Amino acid sequence: MNTWMNLATACLASVALYGCPAHTYQLISDEESGKVVGLFARDGGEPRISLEFGGKQFAASGFAISRSQNLSELRRQYGSYSKHYANVFSGLDSKHYVYSANPELRSDDGQTLRCIFAWRLAKALAGTCTTSDGKQVEIRSG
């Protein structure tokens, strides 16, 4: 039992320290205007992303990942005195967090690709990337 508690404490501490558990997302686009393929990874170290778009490789690493939740909406939905809301408020129920990232990717020739992504824990990632000339492409994890 002691081993199980130590393992659970270590896992909980790693999620609390890094703010977002380890995940790797394969990125795709359904748009006919240009196929986008890439990888978004958060594996306990710094986050990194790489995309191939318009025949060029774009990459970024070390960008911030934000975590938020709408406690007032969750209080309205579950009630202030419910056990579920108490678990959400205390951080024991993390499925209500929304994660987001706004990396700026660069290619070898200096072109930029600005992206905005959002996702929930263990759910699909989705977002939009905009090229330096204003072209936008919708991206999702597949």
Q: How many CB atoms lie within 10 A of CB 1?
A: 5
User: pLDDT tens-digit profile of 81-136?
Assistant: 777 667 766 766 667 788 899 999 999 999 999 999 998 877 888 999 998 889 88
Question: Tokens in use for 115?
Answer: 């992206």
The pLDDT of residue 22 is 58
pLDDT at 4: 30
Write down all domains in the chain, each with its CATH number in brackets: 19-68+97-141 (2.40.128)
Nearest C-alpha neighbor of 61 from the set 105, 112, 119, 125? 105
Q: Tell me if 114 sits within 8 A of 129, measured CB to CB.
A: yes
pLDDT in tens, 9-68: 333 333 333 444 557 888 888 665 556 789 888 777 789 999 998 889 999 999 999 988
| pTM of this structure | 0.69
